[in-house]
Structure 1
Amino acid sequence: MKLRHFIVLIVLAAVSSIVYGFTIKADNPKEADKYIGMGTVGLFLIAMPLFLIKESKGKKMKDYMLTKENIDKMKMKDRQKPENQ
């Protein structure tokens, strides 16, 4: 099973847990809060980091940091644009 499928499975389980928690909220509020909490934890503490790790693999973090070198590159790009754009 690929990581992408695993992430989708976690997201679906988390969303379904949240939806189920909201549907039983009127009958059993304490148990509903547990389902909503577990879904939120699954979504933001498990699925999101896995997704970010998967998507950032092979990319250089230095390219995305605001360093003096990158600021100079951005300034050079602004100077190269023609006046009419």
Structure 2
Amino acid sequence: MLKKMFAAAAISAVCVSPAFAQADLICDQAGMTKLETDVSQITDSGKKEMAQKELAMAKEALAANDQEKCKSHMANAMKGQDPM
């Protein structure tokens, strides 16, 4: 019983954490500048290309003043920095 509760808690944490991570993103010019710097430092070419595409879409969303879409694309660009 206790194992099932821990497993459920772990699954919940994995599912909820991306939402919390996205909540603390700030979609503004300063955030874009930092993200551009971070993306430029990615060494894996595949991850870097994906992150650059997401960064471009985040910039478009920022220009359109679509905060949720911008945050989503910023979060996706940041995933390129994660060692998978």
Q: Above 0.5 in TM-score?
A: no
Structure 2 length normalisation: TM-score? 0.40
The higher-RCO structure (CA 8 Å, 6+ apart) is 2
Who wins on radius of gyration, i.e. which is larger? 1
Structure 1 length normalisation: TM-score? 0.40
